Amino acid sequence: MITYLEAIRAALWEEMKSDPSVFIMGEDIGAYGGAFKITEGFLAEFGEDRVIDTPISEAAIVGAAIGAAHMGLKPVCEMQFIDFIAPAFDIIVNFAAKVRYRTGVGAGLVIRGPCGAGGRAGPFHSQNVESYFANVPGLKMVAPATVADAKGLLKSAIRDPDPVLYFEHKFLYRRLKAELDETEDATPLGRARIHREGTDLSVVTYGASVHTADEAAERLAEEGVEVEIVDLRSLRPLDTEAIAATVRKTGRALVLHEAPGFGGFGGEISACVSEHAFEWLDAPVRRVAALDTPVPYSAPLEDAHLPSVADVVETAREQLAY
């Protein structure tokens, strides 16, 4: 039995063991072992050439990683919190994402970091940034919701020849535990999975919101409602066929994510439903998302800000009654 955090650690360790071109870099990841201790012990095992403590400059971290990738190495960059990716936005979207198009040479690097709220960490350490990068061709993005995918998606990201943003939800780090099948290896990018089978309504979601959806589905099951939950796993590339298939099956689509709704990734999912499964809809697509505010530090305010199980249940009932 291992945790979500340990699965991330295992993926990094195994890839570094099996491939000497893989190395990691970030703030406090070496001697300190990382802010959440994911890389504890890596410095002693792999040495300072492959476990690199960097200055506090996210743009420099990503810039150096791009150069290393062009020299045949496979860098994995850690953002201490995913919120801090902002200073590296320019080098990511205007170089890493476009360099294959411009030169024919890709930048095979991974940028991983803890995202999400629920830990009372306030507005600068709790964000979900996927929609910031969703409009950038050349980037791939993944958001694991399970222990198995935390490991499998990171392995695929490291092996991919282009830049991958890996969003690990810190609320799941030590709360989520599972047995892993040792025969399983990488989880393919771009393929959603059915987290729960159902026939009455589809919830399309990803990351920690999968577990919010699961709890809501349990409550609705007591009312005789069978909810199907689609865990996207990969946001870019997006498994549009899986989204269309579930809506064709149930006739209703509820889109759930933790970031604010306006301009959020749920709009892209909703558009996908409209474009590929409109004729099968028996009710309008609905989104359940966070309030349009920064993430509050106060515990009751943070709870009010985030989409809740009750929000999902209420919205589902409205769709079922439409």
Q: Is residue 268 part of a domain?
A: yes
**Domain co-membership, 86 together with 174:** yes
**Domain co-membership, 197 together with 174:** no
Cα–Cα distance for residue pair 115/161, rounded to 1 Å: 24
Residues 154/233, Cβ–Cβ less than 8 Å: no
Q: Any idea what the CATH number is for the domain that residue 165 is in?
A: 3.40.50.970
Residues 153/144, Cβ–Cβ less than 8 Å: yes
Q: Any idea what the CATH number is for the domain that residue 259 is in?
A: 3.40.50.920
DSSP assignment of 104-149, as one string? S-----EEEEEE--SSS--TTSS---HHHHTT-TT-EEE---SHHH
> Does 182 score more than 80 pLDDT?
no
Specify the DSSP element, H or E, that contains 289. Answer: strand 286-290
Confidence grade of residue 185 (pLDDT, cut at 50, 70, 90): confident
For residue 43, give both structure tokens. Answer: 């410095």
> Does 131 score more than 80 pLDDT?
yes
- Residue at token pair 């990068």: 133
User: pLDDT tens digits, residue range 71-99?
Assistant: 999 999 999 999 999 999 999 999 999 99
Q: Is residue 261 part of a domain?
A: yes
Q: Is residue 185 part of a domain?
A: no
DSSP state of 228: E
**Domain co-membership, 114 together with 47:** yes
- Residue at token pair 């990969």: 234
Cα-to-chain-centroid distance, residue 39: 19
- What amino acid occupies position 12? L
Average pLDDT, the chain: 97
Q: Give the mean model confidence (pLDDT) for residues 97-126.
A: 96
For residue 304, give both structure tokens. Answer: 């009010």
Q: Is residue 187 part of a domain?
A: no
In this structure, the number of other CB atoms found within 10 A of the CB of residue 21 comes to: 16
Confidence grade of residue 296 (pLDDT, cut at 50, 70, 90): very high
In this structure, the number of other CB atoms found within 10 A of the CB of residue 87 comes to: 15
For residue 280, give the nearest of 230, 235, 244 by alpha carbon.
Answer: 244
User: pLDDT tens digits, residue range 20-61?
Assistant: 999 999 999 999 999 999 999 999 999 999 999 999 999 999
DSSP assignment of 229-286, as one string? EEE--EEETT-HHHHHHHHHHHS-EEEEEEEESTTSTHHHHHHHHHHHHGGG-SS--E
User: pLDDT tens digits, residue range 301-320?
Assistant: 999 999 999 999 999 999 99
* Residue 103 exposure: Cα atoms within 13 Å on the Cβ side: 10
For residue 107, give the nearest of 181, 160, 28, 43 by alpha carbon.
Answer: 160
User: pLDDT tens digits, residue range 140-165?
Assistant: 999 999 999 999 999 999 999 999 99
For residue 145, give the nearest of 187, 197, 86 by alpha carbon.
Answer: 187
Q: What is the pTM of this model?
A: 0.97
Domain residue limits at 257:
193-320
> Does 184 score more than 90 pLDDT?
no
Residue 197: the pLDDT is 98
Q: Is residue 237 part of a domain?
A: yes
Cα–Cα distance for residue pair 45/32, rounded to 1 Å: 14
* Residue 77 exposure: Cα atoms within 13 Å on the Cβ side: 32
Residues catalogued as catalytic: 125
